A and B are shown apart, each in its own frame.
Chain A
Amino acid sequence: MSGILGGEGEHRLLMGNEAIARGALEAGVGLAIGYPGTPSSEVIQTLSRVADQISMRVEWAVNEKVAVDIATGYAYAGLRALATMKNAGLNVASDTLMSVAYSDVKGGLVIYVADDPGAHAGMEEQDNRWFTRLSLLPMIDVSDPQEGKDAVVMAFELSEEYEVPMLVRSTTRVAHMTSIVELGPVRELRRTPGFERDIRRYTRASPKWCMEQHERLNEKLKLLSGRVDGLPVNRLHIPEDGAERGVVASGISWSYLRELLDRHGLWDRVAALKIGTVNPLPRGLIERLMEGVGELLILEELEPYLELHLRAVASELDLRPIIHGKMDGWLPRVGEYTPELVERALGRLLGLELERSNREVEEARAEALKQAPRRPLPLCPGCPHRGTYTAMRMALRELGYKDGEFIVTGDIGCTILGMHPPFNLCWTEVSMGASIGLGIGLRYAGIDKPIIAAIGDSTLFHAGLPPALNSAWHRSRIVIAVLDNRVTAMTGHQPSPTSGYTATGGEAKVIEADEVLRALGVEHIWVADPYNLEEAKEAFKEALRCDGPSAVVLKRVCALVARRMGLTEQPYRVDPERCTGCQLCLRTLACPAMTLSPEGKAEIDGEACTGCGLCAQICPVGAIGRSEP
C-alpha cells in the first residue's frame, strides 16, 4: 500500500521522508543505506518495504560511517548511492565524508541528513548547515515533501555533473510532515560498474595530490555557484512596485512565511527570497534582493548561518540594509521556529499588528494547560529493559549499595528510558557507545564505586565495540550491561546485527554480543533473561564482584516486536482476594498495563499485558498469576 510506488503525474500523500525515498526511485538510485535515527529513519524503512518491487539494494548499516563508506564505494564504481542519517549521524560519517569530498565521485553520491531543531528526539540541536563550511560540500536545505523529492533527483544530477558528493538536509518538521506530492518518472539506470586505479584521486597520501584535490573541489564549487541562482529551490519574489523591506527564509520557515503572506495579503508589500542551496548560496538572487531593500528579516532555525553570510555579502557590496534575525535578538538561536514566532517577527518588520491576542482567552488556556499532568515516558508493557533495570537495582541493593553509591552511565536508544522513575538509573547520555568510555574515564579519575555502562545491542555494535575493546585491553573495572532486545528499538524496530534478518526481511547472520565481547577480550560475561529477575540479578551480582571488565548481556526481544510477531504469552491477572493493595508491583515496575481498581487493588489490562511475568515475581503475596487461556 506504499504511496511511493505511484506512476508519473500521480498525486500521493507522502511524509517528507517518504518523499525523499520516492526521490531515490526517480533518481535511479541503486543503493540506499543508512543507520536509523529520528527523524531520518523512514527513508530506508519506506524503501525496504517495497524492496521486492524495485531494483534497489536497501540496507541498514551498523553505523553511519560504514553506510557512507559503502555508499562511496558504490559511487566510485559509477552507480548512484544514497546514504541517510540523523543529525548526529553526520558526525560519525564525517571522517569519511571530509575525505571523499576531495575525490571525484563518478556515480552520484547523496547524503541525506535530518536535523532536529527543538530537540524532539532528545539530541543536540546541531545545525548541520555548518558542515558545508567544514567540508566545502554543497547542500540543499528543503522546506516541504515535494521539494524534498525533487531535491534528491536534482542532487544526483548535480553530484554527477560536478563529480562531488551532495548533501540534502531537512529538519524534523519537514521530514515528518505529510503533504501531497506530485510524482515524477521512476528511472532505472542500467550502468556497468567499473573502477579504475587512480591513486591521485582516490588517495590523499601525497601532500601534492591532496592539495590538487582541494583546489579542484574549490573550482567545482565555483562552477556550481554560477548555477544555483537558477535552481528551483531558490526563488526570489519582488513585488511589481518594489519593496522597502524583504524577508529571507529557508527550510520550514519558508512554509510559515508563505502561509502568513497569503493569509494577510502581504505579497505586494515585501520582497521574499527563499534559499534552498545553503552551499553555494544563490549569490545573484541575494544581490538583487539587497540592492532593492533597506531592511531585511532573516528566517532560519538554529544558528545565524544565512544571516552571517548575508551580512558578509552586504559588506562586500557596500550596501547597508538593516538586517534583523538572531544577531540583533529578534529571533532565538535555540529551539524550532513556530508560526507565531515568524508572525511576530514579520509584524515587527512591517510595523503591523498581525496577531490577534485576547488576554482572557490566553489566561484560560494557560489555566487549562496547568491542569494537565505531565506524562512521564514509561517503558512499554513487557519491555525487557524493565526486567533489566529492576534486576540491576535488586543486585545493587543486595550488595549493600544505596542510591549515590554506584554509577550507571547510559547510552542512546530505549536504554536511556531507565533514567526515569521508578528506576532512576542512567546518569549520562552523551553519544553512541559513550557509556563505556565514560565509565572508564570515571574509573581512571579515581571513583571507586561500582560503575555500570548500560548500552543497547544496536548501540554497542554501532560505536560501543572500540571502547569495550579498550576496557578489555587496559583491564578497566566496569560492568557493561548490554540491553539486548534484538533490534534497534527506539527508532522503530529496524534490524540490528542480533536480529537475524536484513532491512528487506532477508536472512542474515546473527551476531551475539556476548561472543563479540569475549572475542574483544572481555573475559567475564554472563548471559541472562531479563524476564527472569533472579537470574538477571545474580548475573549482575557476579559481574559487580569482578576485578576487571565484565559484561552482562540481557537477551530478550523487544516486546513491541514480539507482539507484532505473535510471540506474546498469556497475560497475567491479579487475584483481588489475595492482593493486599500494597502497590509494590506498580511502584517497582511502573507497567502501563497495570492500574489500581477503585478498591485500591492492582489490576492488569489483559489486552495490554504481554505476559512478561515480572509483576508476578515482584508480588510479595503471590496474588498475580497467569490468566486462563
Chain B
Amino acid sequence: MIREHNILIASVGGQGGITLSRIIARAAMKMGYRVIVGETLGMAQRGGPVQSHVRIGSQVYGPLIPEGRCHILIALEPVEALRAARYLSPESTILLNETVLPPITAILGEVPYPTLREVVEALNRIGCGVYHLNAEKLALEAGSKRCLNVVMLGAYMAYMEAERLNIITMEAAEEAVRESVPSRYLEANLRALKLGYEALMKSMSSSAY
C-alpha cells in the first residue's frame, strides 16, 4: 500500500516527456494503484520546458507535486532538472539524461549554459542523489533517438528494483510501453527499456552519486 509516490518528469517539448508520464501512469494503474498525472506546459509544447507530475498512491488528489515532495525526478535534459528544483529535497533521487538541448541564446553564447558537472553539483547541494546516463546514445543504439524517454523508463525500473520500491513490475512497464508507442517503434522501445535498465544497474553497482 503506497500512500504517496511522486515522480516528476522534466523535459523539453518534443522529447517524449508527456508520453513517458502516460506510460508510467498506465503501468501504475495496471498494478492497481490510484494515479494522477498533472502537466505544466503552458504554451511551451514545442521546444519549451515541460514538467509532468506523476503521482501514485492512496493519498494523492491534486495534480501537482507539492514543493519538496518529489521522490524521483526523471530529467530528460540536465538544465530541466535545475528548473524543477522547487520540487526537490534531500530525499529526492534524480535520474538524469546527460545530453543537452541548449536554447539558441546559449548556442550563441548570450547566456551561460551550465555543464553537466555544474548541474550535478547544484543538485547535490540540495542533497539529492544523482545518477546520470547518456540516454540519447542508448536510444540510438536501440533504434531511434525518439526512444530516449523509454531509456529513462528503463533506468527508473532499475532504480526501483535496487531500492526495493516494487511499485511497477517490468511486465507492467512493458505492457504500458506496448499500449503507448506507435507499433513501428515498439521493438526499438522495448530494446530501449532494456538498455536503460542495464545502464543504470551497471552505474549503480559501480558508483553511487
Contacts and interface: CB of A to CB of B under 8 A. Distances in A.
Contacts, number: 157
Contacts of B119: 371
Contact of B118 (A1, A371, A374): A371
A376 B104 contact: yes
Contact of A368 (B37, B47, B125): B125
A361 B34 contact: no
A188 interface: no
Interface stretch (B106-114, B163-171, B187-195, B201-209): B106-114
B35 A179 contact: yes
Given A373-B103, A376-B105, A378-B104, A339 B36 contact: no
Interface string B87-128: 011100000000000111111100111100011001101110
A583 interface: yes
Nearest to B90: A361
B129 interface: no
Given A262-B59, A376-B104, A378-B104, A364 B67 contact: no
A430 interface: no
A377 interface: yes
A180 B44 contact: no
Interface residues of B, number: 59
Contacts of B106: 373
B62 A256 contact: yes
Contact of A258 (B12, B38, B61): B61
Interface in B56-99: 59-64, 66-68, 79-80, 82-83, 85-86, 88-90
A11 to B, nearest CB: 8
Interface in B1-25: 4, 12, 22, 25
A120 B42 contact: yes
Contacts of B22: 13, 178
Contact of A255 (B44, B61, B118): B61
Contacts of A121: 42-43
Contacts of B175: none
A592 B104 contact: yes
Contact of A380 (B46, B82, B108, B179): B46
Contacts of A369: 82-83, 85-86
Nearest to A603: B107
Contact of B107 (A252, A364, A595): A595
Given A339-B62, A374-B103, A586-B107, A365 B85 contact: yes
Interface string B143-180: 00100000000000000000000000000000000010
A607 interface: yes
Contacts of A586: 104, 107-108
A144 B42 contact: no
A13 B35 contact: yes
A318 interface: no
Contacts of A445: none
A437 B3 CA distance: 55
Contact of A607 (B4, B36, B145): B145
Contacts of A263: 4, 59
B44 A364 contact: no
B64 A339 contact: yes
Interface string A354-382: 00101001001111110111111110100
Which of A338, A343, A592 neighbours the largest number of chain B CB atoms within 10 Å of its CB? A592
B62 A255 contact: yes
A235 interface: no
A177 interface: yes
Interface residues of A, number: 53
Given A179-B37, A367-B122, A490 B43 contact: yes
Interface in A574-629: 583, 586-587, 590, 592, 595-596, 607
Nearest to A343: B66
B82 A368 contact: yes
A259 B60 CA distance: 6
A343 to B, nearest CB: 7
Given A367-B122, A368-B125, A361 B64 contact: no
B103 A375 contact: yes
A146 B44 CA distance: 27
Interface in A128-183: 144, 173, 176-180
Given A180-B34, A259-B62, A361-B68, A372 B103 contact: no
B3 to A, nearest CB: 8
Contact of B82 (A371, A583, A595, A596): A371
A230 interface: no
A287 B108 CA distance: 63
A398 interface: no
A177 B36 contact: yes
A339 B47 contact: no
A365 B26 contact: no
B39 interface: yes
Contacts of A547: none
Contacts of A368: 82, 85, 88, 122-123, 125-126
A376 B114 contact: no
Contacts of A375: 12, 44, 47-49, 103
B66 A339 contact: yes
B186 interface: no
B133 interface: no
A239 interface: no
A122 interface: yes
Contacts of A405: none
Contacts of B113: 373
Nearest to B4: A263
Contacts of A358: 89
A339 B49 CA distance: 21
Contacts of B80: 372
A340 interface: yes
Contact of A361 (B38, B49, B126): B126
Nearest to B29: A13
Nearest to B124: A364
Contact of B64 (A173, A372, A378, A595): A173
A68 B114 CA distance: 51
Contacts of B145: 607
Contacts of B111: 373-374
Nearest to A490: B43
Nearest to B69: A339
Nearest to A38: B43
A378 B83 CA distance: 18
A373 B123 contact: no
Which of A38, A340, A368, A377 lies at the interface centre, i.e. has the most chain B CB atoms within 10 A of its CB?
A368
A367 B125 contact: yes
A383 to B, nearest CB: 9
A175 to B, nearest CB: 10
A120 B89 CA distance: 26
Given A371-B122, A376-B104, A122 B42 contact: yes
14 contacts: A13-B37, A122-B43, A173-B38, A173-B64, A258-B61, A259-B59, A340-B66, A361-B89, A361-B127, A373-B113, A374-B111, A376-B105, A592-B47, A595-B107
Given A365-B126, A366-B85, A378-B104, 9 more contacts: A13-B29, A263-B4, A343-B66, A356-B68, A371-B114, A373-B103, A373-B105, A373-B113, A587-B108
The 8 A-B pairs of least Cβ separation, nearest first, read: A177-B63, A372-B82, A339-B66, A178-B37, A368-B85, A368-B122, A365-B85, A259-B61
